[in-house]
Amino acid sequence: MPQYQQIPQKHNVVPPQKDNVSDRIRMLMKLRTAGITDMDVLSAMENIPRDLFVEDAFMEHAYDDTALPIPSGQTISQPTVVAWMTWALELETRMRVLEIGTGSGYQTAILSKLARRVYTIERHRDLLDMAEERFRHLNLTNIVTKRGDGSKGWKEVGLFDRIIVTAAAGEIPAVLLDQLSPGGIMVIPVGNSVADQILLRVQKAENGTISTQHLMNVRFVPLVQD
């Protein structure tokens, strides 16, 4: 009998897959009840197992509609908020997306199902390492990661058709607006305190004119600028 050696993993981030079909259906029902009707967004969220992105201690809540703690004092976003933000981006499969705040990588994985390429920046190395391992496990090959201060954008790669920021800024960083293509859309939570954060949808017209729309009240961790 051949001896099979277990391949050691750098990080133990891939929990055993349990039968979570009913949990997943419950989450999808919740998204529909919340008003998410876009089939592409729903199908992306059906295809990405959220339990893979959640810490062991919170596994039984993996499909609840709540944000949950992840290492480094950060949070994985609430499924309905992920769905609204993704929908608000109006993604097309040819698009290049910049994401600021990889965190667990859950939102990144959803985006990767709907866009051509996702560039994602995270300031915490440990979170980025874990997210990268999840992307490999799910065979998501169209994600490019970087550790750094995402509020500066990624000018070597820009312009971007879409930009999504998953941490709250005091105001929209001008550098990010510069890296948004004409005709582009950015979704970003803005507000100085957690109590008064609003999610903005920012559109750049072909002639460069900026217009903003309030989507909803949200609670995100702060965008920390180095």
What are the residues binding ligand SAH (CB under 6 A)? Answer: 74-77, 100-101, 103-104, 106-107, 121-124, 127, 149-151, 166-167, 221, 223-225
Q: What is the rounded distance in angstroms from the CA atom of residue 44 to the CA atom of residue 53?
A: 15
The CB-of-143 to ligand SAH minimum distance in angstroms stands at 13
Question: Of 104 and 197, which has the nearer Cβ to ligand SAH?
Answer: 104
Q: What is the rounded distance in angstroms from the CA atom of residue 131 to the CA atom of residue 122?
A: 10
Q: Which two tokens stand for residue 132?
A: 């990268």
Q: What is the rounded distance in angstroms from the CA atom of residue 144 to the CA atom of residue 29?
A: 31
Q: What is the rounded distance in angstroms from the CA atom of residue 31 to the CA atom of residue 199?
A: 18
Verify whether residue 22 is a known catalytic residue: no
The CB-of-9 to ligand SAH minimum distance in angstroms stands at 20
Residue nearest to ligand SAH (CB): 103
Catalytic residue among 72, 77, 151, 181: 77
Question: Of 103 and 184, which has the nearer Cβ to ligand SAH?
Answer: 103
Calculate ∠ Cα 155-157-159, nearest 5°. Answer: 75
Choose among 88, 78, 34: nearest CA to 212.
88
The CB-of-4 to ligand SAH minimum distance in angstroms stands at 34
Question: Of 148 and 212, which has the nearer Cβ to ligand SAH?
Answer: 148
The catalytic site residues sit at: 77
